[in-house]
DNA sequence: TTTATATACATAAATTTCTTAGGTATATAA
DNA sequence: TTATATACCTAAGAAATTTATGTATATAAA
């Protein structure tokens, strides 16, 4: 787990990226997927995740589809074309930012 | 200039890294150095910088030395041994975080 | 059987971090 | 004399997140 300040500002980018690669995902699924992909190093908190999903929906970049699974509710999120554009922009901006920080902090370029 | 949310959480790391490479620097100098090194892409705001410098001093990782230059004041900051250790830890953590984000966002490793 | 854990949503108070705006003051170039 | 640069500082407000809490079902463990 990283110190919480580092992760700040990356939540929207992460959500949009994962949703632009998948047909649809629900909130809890996003938390599990991020945990899995990062080996537990990044864990989305529900208190941050759900309000952000609601905001992205209100903004028109995500649409929802509520489904009953057994007796529980699941709210699936899909990305809109506008959202895909936004996801691309955010990911590209973050890639640029990483390059800048890599240089500023004197880190070796990562060669895999 | 990056969207302001991206830069969040990186301020302390940037300050500590620059001060661990230099004998001493003053606040305004830090803003100019970061602007120069990032081609204007990151510009530290004084409202964020000065309170953070004060906090790092209170924490014992920085010490100060006030100097009169002409009729103006300059407050030079130097990093303590504890601060150098913290700088190292923060930079290493950020490097790890960059690797994680690079993978999560499906970015190509940067080969310079 | 009741306890803990996992699934699955949500909100709200408090905290952290930053932006924006303002204040003081000197030096210099237009 | 006006704008820009240098050089410090604080405080109100905004933004993003953490922490805490709530609801509810399902399942594995003790």
Q: How many CA atoms lie within 13 A of A6 on its CB side?
A: 22
Q: Which two tokens stand for residue A46?
A: 């529900």
Q: What is the pLDDT of residue B110?
A: 61
Q: What is the pLDDT of residue A111?
A: 58
CATH number for the domain spanning B9: value is 1.10.10.10
Q: Which two tokens stand for residue A80?
A: 């809109």
Chain B: residue nearest A16 by CA? B105
State how far the Cα of B90 lies from the Cα of B96, in Å rounded to an integer. 10
pLDDT tens digits, B60-89: 999 999 999 888 889 999 999 999 999 999
pLDDT tens digits, A17-74: 999 999 999 999 999 999 999 999 999 999 999 999 999 999 999 999 999 988 888 9
- Choose the mutation target among A17, A38, A98, A103 for the interface with B, i.e. most B CBs under 10 Å: A98
**Residue A14 included in any domain:** yes
Chain B: residue nearest A20 by CA? B105
Gap from B34 CA to C28 C1', in Å?
24
Domain extent, residue A69, equals 4-104
- How many domains does chain B fold into? 1
Average pLDDT over residues B91-95: 96
**Residue A112 included in any domain:** no
Q: Cβ neighbours of residue A55 under 8 Å, at least 6 residues apart?
A: none
Residues lying close to strand C (Cβ under 7 A), chosen from 52-71 of chain A, are 53-54, 69
Q: Is the pLDDT of residue B94 over 90?
A: yes
Tell me what percent of the residues of chain B surpass a pLDDT of 70: 96
Nucleic strand C near CB of residue A51 (< 7 Å): yes
């Amino acid at each position: 787990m990283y110190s919480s300040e580092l992760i700040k500002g990356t939540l929207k980018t992460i959500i949009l990226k994962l949703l632009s690669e998948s047909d649809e995902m629900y909130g809890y699924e996003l938390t599990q997927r991020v945990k899995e992909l990062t080996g537990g190093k990044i864990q989305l908190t529900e208190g941050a995740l759900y309000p952000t999903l609601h905001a992205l929906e209100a903004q028109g970049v995500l649409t929802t589809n509520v489904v009953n699974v057994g007796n529980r509710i699941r709210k699936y999120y899909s990305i809109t074309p506008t959202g895909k554009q936004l996801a691309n922009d955010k990911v590209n901006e973050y890639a640029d930012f990483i390059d800048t920080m890599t240089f500023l902090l004197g880190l070796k370029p990562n060669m895999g």
